[in-house]
């Protein structure tokens, strides 16, 4: 189960890293589509704190921790459902 949670954390780190690269390379003159912006906020929950200046490293770590926590909940529920059947 440790490896599964570490996998969730790695996915969270990669998702935040991909969004950071996208926003780094995105054109500053063209506004971001609302659908894309909503998807970014959904997959990177720390982006909800956009009014505060956050470093990229903090966002990467916070997203990894968030995904690890979600992974812990999912894996715990999966394990309980597996033993129940």
Q: Is 51 exposed, middle or buried (0-12, 13-18, 19+ CB in 10 A)?
A: exposed
Determine the longest span between alpha carbons in the chain, in angstroms.
Answer: 55
- Please give the C-alpha separations between residue 77 and each of 1, 19, 70, 84, in angstroms, as whole numbers: 12, 29, 11, 10
Query: Which residues form the domain of 52?
Result: 2-84
- Show the tokens assigned to 70: 């979600």
Q: What percent of the chain has pLDDT over 70?
A: 96
Model pLDDT for residues 35-68, shown as the tens digit of each residue:
888 888 889 988 777 667 788 898 899 999 999 9
Question: The whole model's pTM is what?
Answer: 0.82
Quick one: pLDDT at residue 27? 76
Residue 12: how many other CB atoms lie within 10 Å: 26
Counted domains in the chain? 1
């Amino acid at each position: 189960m440790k490896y599964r949670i570490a996998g969730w954390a790695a996915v969270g780190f990669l998702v935040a890293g991909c969004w950071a690269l996208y926003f780094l390379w995105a054109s500053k003159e063209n506004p971001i589509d609302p659908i894309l912006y909503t998807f970014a906020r959904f997959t990177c929950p720390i982006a909800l704190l956009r009014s505060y200046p956050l470093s990229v490293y903090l966002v990467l770590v916070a997203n990894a921790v968030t995904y690890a926590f979600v992974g812990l909940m999912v894996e715990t529920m999966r394990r309980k459902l597996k033993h129940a059947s």
